[in-house]
């Protein structure tokens, strides 16, 4: 993958927003991700995320519960903890839990009944107060550039974020968190946690949340954590080539960290996977998907569409598809991949996940400007059916080396335990 566009993009971004990044660093922690989305041309993604971030869940009852829980978490010393937040890495998390406990640490509680889990408290601290939502509502109404140009608004956000940062840092200290393993370091809460961990010399390790495809590395770089673990050695090499000298050593690979699925599936079930539909014109994309379904049907395959995670909760979108003749899967990803004999799509890490399992996987040639390892390009047309039967030569990959990873974690843990 060619990430050479990153350096130019990053230089231009830093120059344009130098005042924000240098003079209001705490505000920047909370809004830089969406600014980079916007400046990279992904305005639709930035807009969708901004709309989501304007939602307030700080009702009176919630605030009371948060304040009560926080008071307890900041007034006592606990045994050493670790933070493990990895969405859609179920087996990986399970395989790490016992060895991490063996290192003398307990997990920071992520879910559970009763009191608000410690992890949720830590996340909510980053955006406490009304300044963050006021900024995001302004960004939604007037555009994020105008919101950033509003000095009064940004100053208010920076002041509030500075106070929140102190709370985040205090909770990390009181809970004696000695290690962070997460699937990102750029969202508002993860960015602030990562910055606090850095000041406290607590290692923060990022496991790449997907197969990296953004040429400008939005959501990936700059690498704010101490380390970034990629899915494949090729991705690690490509990233090192594009990153600044001081970041190259942060990039590591221990093998493929996701689950694998049966490759000996027979039958005629095909799975179509897609990028977020709000990236482009919905009607045009629906027609494109219907064309793929027709081509698959002519080749003897039944097919269903799996929406991108950003689209799965959009009820209006599901209603729209109900009138198109496109079957949208509601099953877990593991179930979809287990029963599919063939997987085809545009830009999605799921294509790589399926390919790593040895399945027959194809990427539509129109989207192969962001090529995926082990995935064959395919054209819709006369040769489509014949191409589906071609034996693919899968690239090389290796399973995750847990022993090497755990040895690495032991080396980087702080000496003050």
Helices H, strands E: what count in the chain?
Answer: 19, 11
Which distant-in-sequence residues (6+ apart) come within 8 Å of 334 by Cβ? 259, 261
SS3 sequence, 212-243?
CCCCCCCCCCCCCCCEEEECCHHHHHHHHHHC
Type and span of the H or E element at 167: helix 151-174
pTM of the model: 0.91
Region of residue 176 (left: phi > 0; alpha: psi -120 to 50; beta: else): left
Cα–Cα distances in Å, from 153 out to 24, 127, 135, 408?
11, 15, 7, 43
End-to-end CA distance of the chain: 41
Two tokens at 306?
């799996």
Q: What is the CA radius of gyration of the chain?
A: 22
Q: What is the CA angle 401-192-135, rounded to 5?
A: 135
Q: How far apart are CA 395 and CA 403, in angstroms?
A: 24
How distant is the alpha carbon of residue 366 from its chain centre? 24
Cα–Cα distances in Å, from 93 out to 90, 98, 109, 153?
5, 9, 13, 40
**Per-residue pLDDT tens listing for the chain (417 residues):** 889 999 999 999 999 999 999 999 999 999 999 999 999 987 777 787 887 777 766 667 777 788 888 888 988 777 899 999 998 898 999 999 999 998 889 999 988 767 889 999 999 999 998 899 999 999 999 999 999 999 999 999 999 999 999 999 999 999 999 999 999 999 999 999 999 999 999 999 999 999 999 899 999 999 999 999 999 999 999 999 999 999 999 999 999 999 887 777 778 899 999 988 876 777 888 888 989 999 999 999 999 999 887 776 656 666 667 667 788 888 888 899 988 989 999 988 999 999 888 888 999 998 887 778 888 889 888 889 888 876 655 556 789 999 999 999 999 987 655
SS3 146: helix
């Amino acid at each position: 993958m060619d990430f050479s566009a990153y350096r130019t993009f990053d230089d231009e971004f830093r120059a344009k927003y130098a005042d924000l990044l240098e003079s209001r660093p705490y505000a920047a922690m909370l809004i830089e991700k969406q600014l980079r989305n916007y400046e990279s041309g992904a305005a639709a993604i930035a807009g969708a995320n901004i709309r989501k971030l304007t939602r307030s869940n700080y009702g009176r009852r919630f605030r009371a519960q948060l304040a009560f829980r926080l008071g307890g978490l900041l007034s006592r010393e606990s045994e050493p903890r670790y933070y493990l937040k990895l969405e859609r890495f179920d087996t990986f998390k399970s395989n790490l839990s016992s060895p991490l406990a063996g290192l003398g640490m307990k997990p920071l509680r992520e879910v559970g009944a009763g009191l608000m889990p410690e992890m949720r408290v830590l996340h909510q601290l980053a955006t406490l107060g009304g300044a963050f939502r006021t900024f995001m509502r302004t960004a939604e109404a007037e555009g994020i550039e105008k919101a950033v140009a509003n000095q009064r608004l940004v100053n208010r956000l920076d002041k509030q974020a500075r106070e929140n940062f102190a709370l985040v840092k205090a909770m990390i200290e009181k809970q004696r968190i000695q290690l962070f393993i997460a699937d990102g370091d750029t969202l508002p809460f993860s960015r602030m946690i990562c910055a606090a961990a850095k000041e406290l010399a607590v290692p923060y390790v990022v496991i790449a949340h997907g197969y990296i495809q953004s040429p400008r590395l939005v959501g990936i770089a700059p690498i704010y954590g101490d380390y970034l673990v990629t899915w494949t050695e090729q991705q690690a090499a490509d990233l090192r080539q594009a990153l600044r000298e001081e970041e190259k050593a942060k990039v590591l690979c221990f093998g493929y960290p996701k689950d694998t699925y049966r490759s000996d599936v027979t039958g005629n079930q095909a799975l179509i996977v897609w990028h977020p539909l709000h990236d482009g014109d919905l009607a045009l994309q629906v027609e494109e998907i219907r064309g793929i379904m027709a081509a698959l049907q002519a080749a003897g395959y039944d097919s269903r569409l799996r929406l991108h995670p950003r689209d799965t909760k959009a009820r209006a979108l599901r209603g729209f598809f109900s009138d198109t003749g496109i079957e949208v899967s509601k099953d877990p990803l593991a179930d979809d991949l287990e029963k599919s004999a063939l997987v085809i799509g545009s830009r999605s890490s799921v294509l790589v996940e399926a390919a790593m399992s040895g399945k027959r996987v194809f990427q539509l040639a129109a989207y192969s400007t962001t090529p995926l390892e082990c995935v064959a390009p395919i054209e819709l047309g006369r040769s489509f059916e014949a191409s589906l039967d071609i034996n693919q030569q899968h690239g090389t990959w290796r399973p995750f080396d847990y022993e090497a990873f755990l040895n690495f974690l032991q080396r980087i843990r702080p000496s003050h335990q």
